[in-house]
Amino acid sequence: MEPQLPSNFRTGTESLQKLEESLYKREEIQADTEQPNPPKFIVELKDAEAIEAGPAHFDCRVEPVGDSSMRIDWFFNGRPFATGSRVHMLNDFGFIVLDMDYVYARDAGEYICRATNKWGTATTKAKLVCKAKHDIVLESQLPQGMSGEKLKELEKGHITESKPEEKIPTEPPRFITQIESVGVGEAEPVHFECRVEPKKDPNLRIEWYRNGKPLPTGHRYRSIFDLGFVSLDILYVYPEDSGEYVCKAINNYGEDTTKATISCKKIPMIILQSQVPKGMKRSEALMQMEATIKKYTSEVHLTEDDLYEPEKKQPPRFVTQIVDQTSLVEMQSTKFECQLAPVGDPNMKVEWFLNGKPLPHKNRCTPIYDFGYVAMNFGWVYPEDSGEYLCRATNLYGMDETRAVIKTSGKPGIIYDSQLPKGMKSIEKIRDLEAAWQVPPEKPEDEEKPREKPVFVTKPEPFTTIEGDSARFCCRVTGYPRPRVMWLINGHTVVNGMRYRLTYDGMWHLDIPKTRQYDHGKIEVVARNSSGETRVETTLTVNSRGDDYRGVLKNSPRRESQTIPLSASISIVLTEQLQNFLPTVDLSKIFIFVIIIVNKLITYSYKLF
């Protein structure tokens, strides 16, 4: 908050006074020395003409140049000219300009430029004439040199001379070259091609047949016939595409055919041959094996000699064994892993057994066999998973096995130990925490206050309401530490919920949205802290509603001579009253209508009781 003035200024007020005095002195000196120089236009405005939507320009020059008190104003037809986005004004060293990007017919009129300084005023005038465009354009909009006759000639287009008609061939078709038979494997493409004459016959057509039937259409079949060149491409073939293919050429004078066959070799559903590319060296296979095993484990026990070679006829061999798991707990995860040679044998089969029986497929048991790495992952285990596990590897030349045991201890079905977090000793601690939810957090204070017993600064006042309406009590309590407040209705503790709402906003509030007869009575407020307890009382009066007929219906009189249902007795009374007001209406109709309403009313009253 210290002043930011320079050090040579004693106080801000003195400095400001000195600056103001120096300014006034300069003005007095200048007023004495300057000579009157009113404005004068050296170059006047000139009248201008513009076309509607075209630009307009005015310019003039004024003296004295560099007068700081000079002000330039523009007027249109005697009124100040309104500026806008299309109007640009310039006043720079005595050069004054008014530019309008585009003008309308309403912009035509007299423009005045007024220059004013402290010694006088000067003006210059000019007129703007705006030529409006026609709403209907009667002149031709064609480019120069273009006329209506020339347009008609262009629309006719270029007249081509008629060519002499060509001679249509009158001979039957004839294949110059034939299609050739092929033998391919499944999923390979096939191509047939041949040539036919006469190639300029417009009536010549080509048809393809397979095994005596027309070739089906589809995206796999693509046929071409162009100037005597005929071809058929099959993008990929299936075994059912095998057979005889016939290409038939037909015109008005005859037909000709050429034949060929396709032999498609079926690919087996299960590929038993090694899919390793030819030319892959043993070192490359070894690198791939090591990279694959390192995805699962850090230790690689397989060597180059464990790679598969058909000439050696290698039987299966477990290089490492699976290990026993005897200290597992229910729901714990575990796995068996080992390494198996030869690596890359296409006939190798790996099986898992539990207690001599095949291990059933489960979503929590995941087997792995990848480039010599064998494993069985258990997502979680149960006590019934305990037992002896056997992994068996089989190929064309032998068999090998490895065994291990799993022991899983189960968790008790009923948990007798406390599941409370550490540090929470008993249920009393939970109650203290729940009670603290209703107490607003205490703000930390720098200094300790003396402990005070709770004191009610504002006490709740008696409240009277009608059954079903709301009621509200509020009070204010002081004390240190901050007291806890509890409400009681007729000796019963009030719990925050739908029936009663407890809130705190600096004052303690008890809201009863919908009162009942059992809420009638004594309301107590208890404030308690470590220094003591204070209690105040008030009353809640709940009056019964005036439109409540439950008591009337319950104590209605009955005739001694005969027993009449309650609904009938009430209906008779109401019917007699209605008959007085509606003498022209049939009594039986009124009685039926009234008894239906009374029955519904009594049913509702019984539900309330």
Tell me, what's the pLDDT at 411?
Answer: 79
Tell me, what's the pLDDT at 28?
Answer: 53
Higher pLDDT, 298 or 171: 171
Mean pLDDT of all residues in 466-471 = 92
Tell me, what's the pLDDT at 149?
Answer: 76
Helix (H, G, I), strand (E, B) or coil at 86: coil
Mean pLDDT of all residues in 528-543 = 93
What is the Cα–Cα distance from 210 to 161, expressed in whole angstroms?
47
Cα dist from 139 to 52, 147, 150, 153, whole Å? 18, 13, 18, 22
Helix (H, G, I), strand (E, B) or coil at 27: helix
Confidence of residue 392 (pLDDT cuts 50, 70, 90): very high
Bridge partners for 210 per DSSP:
213, 245
* Residue 304 clears pLDDT 90, i.e. is over it: no
The stretches of 192-336 forming alpha helices (DSSP H) are 282-293
Tell me, what's the pLDDT at 609?
Answer: 42
Mean pLDDT of all residues in 98-126 = 92
Tell me, what's the pLDDT at 37?
Answer: 87
What is the Cα–Cα distance from 189 to 367, expressed in whole angstroms?
40
Q: Does residue 451 contact residue 459 with C-beta atoms inside 8 Å?
A: no
> What is the number of other CB atoms lying within 10 angstroms of the CB of residue 71?
13
Mean pLDDT of all residues in 270-294 = 69
Peptide bond connecting 173 to the previous residue in cis, omega within 30 degrees of 0? no
* Residue 400 clears pLDDT 60, i.e. is over it: yes
Residue with tokens 């709301």: 470
* Residue 402 clears pLDDT 90, i.e. is over it: yes
Cα dist from 102 to 55, 56, 89, whole Å? 4, 7, 14
Tell me, what's the pLDDT at 552?
Answer: 55
Domain locations along the chain: 40-131, 174-265, 307-409, 452-543
174-265: CATH topology is Immunoglobulin-like (2.60.40)
Q: Copy the structure tokens of residue 146.
A: 């273009």
Tell me, what's the pLDDT at 61?
Answer: 93
Confidence of residue 463 (pLDDT cuts 50, 70, 90): very high
For the chain, give the percent of residues with pLDDT over 90. 45
CATH superfamily of 452-543: Immunoglobulins (2.60.40.10)
What is the Cα–Cα distance from 120 to 113, expressed in whole angstroms?
14
* 179 Cβ neighbours under 8 A, 6+ residues apart: 192, 193, 194, 232, 245, 247, 258, 259, 260
pTM of this prediction? 0.29
Domain 40-131 listed as CATH 2.60.40.10: yes
Domain 307-409 listed as CATH 2.130.10.10: no
Tell me, what's the pLDDT at 415?
Answer: 75
Tell me, what's the pLDDT at 144?
Answer: 72
For the chain, give the percent of residues with pLDDT over 70. 79
* Domain 40-131 shares a fold with domain 174-265: yes
What is the Cα–Cα distance from 485 to 529, expressed in whole angstroms?
9
Confidence of residue 363 (pLDDT cuts 50, 70, 90): confident
Mean pLDDT of all residues in 48-67 = 90
The DSSP output letter for 277 is P
Higher pLDDT, 440 or 101: 101
**DSSP sequence for 480-510:** ESPPEEEEEETTEEP-SSSS-EEEESSSEEE
Mean pLDDT of all residues in 260-275 = 80
* Residue 70 clears pLDDT 60, i.e. is over it: yes
* Residue 313 clears pLDDT 90, i.e. is over it: no
* Residue 10 clears pLDDT 60, i.e. is over it: no
Lowest mean pLDDT, pick from 406-420, 433-447, 456-470, 581-595 = 581-595
Lowest mean pLDDT, pick from 204-208, 211-215, 431-435 = 431-435
Lowest mean pLDDT, pick from 88-102, 206-220, 550-564 = 550-564
Tell me, what's the pLDDT at 266?
Answer: 85
* Residue 239 clears pLDDT 50, i.e. is over it: yes
* Residue 322 clears pLDDT 60, i.e. is over it: yes
Question: What are the φ/ψ torsions at residue 344 (nearest 5 degrees)?
Answer: 95, 10
Bridge partners for 71 per DSSP:
116
Q: Which of 82-86, 305-309, 385-389, 434-438 has the highest mean pLDDT?
A: 385-389
Amino acid residing at 530: S
Mean pLDDT of all residues in 282-299 = 76
Return mean pLDDT, the chain: 82
Confidence of residue 564 (pLDDT cuts 50, 70, 90): very low
Confidence of residue 442 (pLDDT cuts 50, 70, 90): low
Confidence of residue 47 (pLDDT cuts 50, 70, 90): very high
Mean pLDDT of all residues in 163-184 = 84
Mean pLDDT of all residues in 288-309 = 82
Cα dist from 134 to 131, 138, 140, 143, 430, whole Å? 10, 9, 14, 20, 92
What is the Cα–Cα distance from 459 to 478, expressed in whole angstroms?
12
Tell me, what's the pLDDT at 563?
Answer: 45
Mean pLDDT of all residues in 176-197 = 92
Whose CA is closest to 501, among 462, 460, 547, 470? 470
* Residue 127 clears pLDDT 90, i.e. is over it: yes
Higher pLDDT, 16 or 562: 16
E runs forming strands in 315-437:
317-318, 325-329, 334-341, 349-354, 357-358, 365-370, 373-378, 387-395, 398-409
Mean pLDDT of all residues in 173-193 = 92
What is the Cα–Cα distance from 34 to 26, expressed in whole angstroms?
12
Mean pLDDT of all residues in 58-67 = 90
Could you tell me how far CA 483 lies from the centroid of its own chain? 48
Mean pLDDT of all residues in 241-245 = 93
